Structure 1
Amino acid sequence: MKMKKSIIYTITTIVSFWFATIGCTPTFGKDFVLVLDAGHGGHDPGAIGNFSREKNINLNIILKVGHLVEQNCNDVKVIYTRKTDVFIPLNQRTEIANNANADLFISVHTNSAPAKAARGTETFSLGLSRSSANLEVAKRENSVILMEDDYKQRYAGFNPNSSESYIMFEFIQDKHMEQSVSLATLIQKQYRSSIGRPDRGVHQDIFLVLKTSAMPSVLTEVGFISNPEEEQYLNTEEGTDALAKSIFNAFQQYKLKHDVRRSKIRVPLRPENETESEVKQSYTVANSEKPDTTKKIVKKEIEVKETKEERGSTPPKEANLIFKIQIISSGKKLKSNDPRFKSLDPVDSYIESGIYKYTYGASENYNEVLRTKRNIAAQFKDAFIIAFKNGEKININAAIAEFKKNRK
């Protein structure tokens, strides 16, 4: 196992170096679609500093990010929500991304605070935060909808300045949370390590511009326009160049992971004497827990053929192979009585890439877990089956193949 990990690490390092030398990695099957969003615009100036406006800083950085991508990544299609000083409603920004079947959405903003000493960068993904400071950032960015004439109808009565309005999102489940957090983390790391910007961390909160996006998405705050020193920096070529390069570098790293995942797509081979009804055909990404349903990947779940006597039986104990149903992912630890579990008991959890992942049901019999998943499908539409061997998560296709082998 250690040797295998070492080989994988070595190969990944070599590939990463090679890709870094030639630019972006090739996307398998189609162009990678990146949507870049410059916050605010037109009659919405955003935060206002001593001599500058947020909308102009955001646009300047976004255009530079886009230029870097267009110059270095031939396989990436860049779409801008705006390239000039115009006002675009929040819901239209995500509509642009959704209609383009985008793979990634990055929104750039500039922060502001009553205290002029506040400084640094922070990046958000969609989620619900208990932090009052994060909520204030979300309120400020969401308040742009008040400039839209029909915002009450368009956003179903949502009041961006009312804390109560955010309660409706208490049980939000973002299927792209892990990828969004991963990108946010890469961006913050670039800010910190490449250009020495103060790191205020990766956070989650309810941003309307992210809420309806059908792909991984982040909102990054590049600095505080309310801080005189940072405002100066945000209005220099050197500052905006450095920030744009940091975002671009993070995008390259993210896309490398994306392409590696896609390159590992495998369709399990079927022996000649085996019919399709006898084996579950699961088209999933190797070492990944589920396919992206927005990309219309077909996933069939067919029980492994068994007799009435075998139904409910399990493979030999020495297999140490366990199937579970993943029902929820969360950026924070949830209490055992959390309403999101909908009275399921017992619920187990594990941590992967800093994300808490909660599971229900555990059995060495894949068919038993599959039947349980179908029973809870109405409550958990996005639930999917995962597998562990000797306590380590493994590819589901390999697990099913082993389950079948153990039954012979």
Structure 2
Amino acid sequence: MKVWNGSKTSMSGILSTTVLVLTLSFAFSISLEAQVPYKIRKVVIDPGHGGKDPGCNGHHSREKEVALSIGLDLGKKLKAQYPDIQVIYTRDTDVFIPLNERAAIANRNKADLFISIHCNYISVRNRATGSETYVLGLHRAEDNLDVAKRENSAILLEDNYEKTYEGFDPYSPEGHIILSMFQNAHLEQSILFATHVESAFKKLSRLPSRGVKQAGFLVLRETTMPSVLIETGFLSTDTDENYLMKKENQQEMASTILKAFSNYKKEVEEYQEPDISAGTPQKATNVQTTNNEDAKAPTSTKGSLEVAYRIQIAASSKSTIDARYHNIDDLEVIKEGEMYKFLVGYFSSAEAARPRLSALKANGFDGAFIVAYKDGQRIKA
């Protein structure tokens, strides 16, 4: 196990209002030139709060202690099951680590996954129960905003936080709305892991699952890998607090998260295998297309291709076509599972798609990549 407690690094541009982007495609989709299959090699576990920051307090518990116990047990179990994976903690004792440093630890170590563990709280006791797993993104619901405000308020305990976070006010709704518009380039992977977490909680935990949600968390904003923040339960609710206070239940929570990790690991590593004839296809459902009279015809027509190669430029939990995409005449949005994929063109081969891919990347879609479909189902490209 490895723990990093390095110096603070600045989160530049945290509130730059000129960078309002939709999610680019998930980064684990490697190009056809890639030779080495993707493997998860490093996981950062981030027990929330710590030291002078207790987090939220229940009647008999403190968030920082519950989060640390679950985090340490998760790391221990993960290392035992996957000895080839390096587990890195942002903290393994009761010490205060600034939010930006937690992300910096993950970035410096080039981690493949960032898991931040917390406990939830609302002002009205015994009103809410269960787990929630958050990814970075637009939050419209007031309760999502309240959770983000509470977790982000930890920066007030940091020295010189106004300079470090460029004037960000954790209690300002406007600040959180701007922050949430920075879409993580790894959103699809983040949502995938979050979905596995909540699915595992639903099946294995004695607390109910409240699902996957999006909100503007500072600790997720600066990570350069798939990242989630898990709210394991409500310390403001007696049943949740009593459950989370017991060591055996903390271990159960860790085991449940490990199960989710195992399912996620299997899925993303299998997805990497560059074998177009193998793999489990996923049915795609058309949602919407752009409608432009001057639309350019794609290289090939949809019906003429046994295997259709397309270019994915984005993935999102929402199907809304932002203004950024209005100049892409042949954009199509399809739904696969719980995600919406933003696709461009139809091509007879990956080679035929490459010039368009290069043009899209030159126009700012750096994460665009080639995908393949057969009979309307996604296959490995």
Q: 2:73 is matched by which residue type in structure 1?
A: K
Q: Does 1:90 align with 2:76?
A: no
1:330-350 CA-partner distances (Å, limit 9, x unpaired): 11120x4x2232533342111
Aligned mate of 1:160, from 166, 170, 177:
170
Segment drifting more, 57-66 vs 387-396: 387-396
CA–CA separation in structure 1 for the residues paired with 2:348 and 2:204: 47
Residue 383 of structure 1: aligned partner: 368
Alpha-carbon offset, residue 375 of structure 1: 2.9
Residue 371 of structure 1: aligned partner: 355
CA–CA separation in structure 2 for the residues paired with 1:170 and 1:33: 26
Q: Does 1:327 align with 2:327?
A: no
Q: Answer whether contact 1:47 1:111 (CA < 8 A) is retained.
A: yes
Alpha-carbon offset, residue 182 of structure 1: 1.8
Q: Answer whether contact 1:105 1:218 (CA < 8 A) is retained.
A: yes
SS class of match (2:177):
helix
* Aligned CA-pair RMSD: 2.9
Which structure shows the bigger proportion of residues in helix conformation?
A: 1
Mapping for residues 171-250 of structure 1, pairs under 5 Å:
171-250=181-260
1:289-344 CA-partner distances (Å, limit 9, x unpaired): xxxxxxxxxxxxxxxxxxxxxxx97599643443332222111120x4x2232533
Q: 1:220 is matched by which residue type in structure 2?
A: I
Residue 348 of structure 1: aligned partner: 332
Alpha-carbon offset, residue 287 of structure 1: 8.3
CA–CA separation in structure 2 for the residues paired with 1:226 and 1:48: 8
- After superposition, the Cα gap between the structure-2 partners of 1:316 and 1:108, relative to the gap in structure 1 and judged at 3 Å, is closer
CA–CA separation in structure 2 for the residues paired with 1:241 and 1:179: 25
Residue 51 of structure 1: aligned partner: 60
- After superposition, the Cα gap between the structure-2 partners of 1:318 and 1:380, relative to the gap in structure 1 and judged at 3 Å, is closer
- After superposition, the Cα gap between the structure-2 partners of 1:259 and 1:388, relative to the gap in structure 1 and judged at 3 Å, is closer
Taking structure 2 as the reference length, what is the TM-score of the superposition? 0.78
Q: Answer whether contact 1:178 1:353 (CA < 8 A) is retained.
A: no
SS class of match (1:249):
helix
Q: Answer whether contact 2:274 2:380 (CA < 8 A) is retained.
A: no
CA–CA separation in structure 1 for the residues paired with 2:299 and 2:230: 51
Q: Answer whether contact 2:302 2:346 (CA < 8 A) is retained.
A: no
Q: 1:52 is matched by which residue type in structure 2?
A: S
Taking structure 1 as the reference length, what is the TM-score of the superposition? 0.73
- After superposition, the Cα gap between the structure-2 partners of 1:170 and 1:72, relative to the gap in structure 1 and judged at 3 Å, is closer
Q: 1:384 is matched by which residue type in structure 2?
A: F
Aligned mate of 2:115, from 101, 106, 117:
106
CA–CA separation in structure 2 for the residues paired with 1:203 and 1:366: 35
- After superposition, the Cα gap between the structure-2 partners of 1:395 and 1:87, relative to the gap in structure 1 and judged at 3 Å, is same
Residue 392 of structure 1: aligned partner: 377
Q: 1:395 is matched by which residue type in structure 2?
A: K
Q: Does 1:254 align with 2:264?
A: yes
Alpha-carbon offset, residue 207 of structure 1: 1.1
Q: Answer whether contact 1:47 1:112 (CA < 8 A) is retained.
A: yes
- After superposition, the Cα gap between the structure-2 partners of 1:346 and 1:236, relative to the gap in structure 1 and judged at 3 Å, is same
1:241-293 CA-partner distances (Å, limit 9, x unpaired): 2111111221222222233335x246x9xxxxxxxxxxxxxxxx9889xxxxx
CA–CA separation in structure 2 for the residues paired with 1:367 and 1:119: 52
- After superposition, the Cα gap between the structure-2 partners of 1:386 and 1:28, relative to the gap in structure 1 and judged at 3 Å, is closer
Mapping for residues 269-308 of structure 1, pairs under 5 Å:
none
SS class of match (1:160):
coil
Q: 2:345 is matched by which residue type in structure 1?
A: G
CA–CA separation in structure 2 for the residues paired with 1:58 and 1:169: 25
SS class of match (2:229):
strand
Mapping for residues 129-140 of structure 1, pairs under 5 Å:
129-140=139-150
CA–CA separation in structure 2 for the residues paired with 1:128 and 1:316: 33
CA–CA separation in structure 1 for the residues paired with 2:367 and 2:144: 28
Identity of aligned residues (%): 40
SS class of match (1:184):
helix
- After superposition, the Cα gap between the structure-2 partners of 1:105 and 1:316, relative to the gap in structure 1 and judged at 3 Å, is closer
CA–CA separation in structure 2 for the residues paired with 1:163 and 1:180: 24
SS class of match (2:124):
coil
- After superposition, the Cα gap between the structure-2 partners of 1:364 and 1:128, relative to the gap in structure 1 and judged at 3 Å, is same
Q: 1:393 is matched by which residue type in structure 2?
A: R
Q: Which has the larger radius of gyration?
A: 1
How many equivalent residue pairs? 328
Alpha-carbon offset, residue 41 of structure 1: 0.5
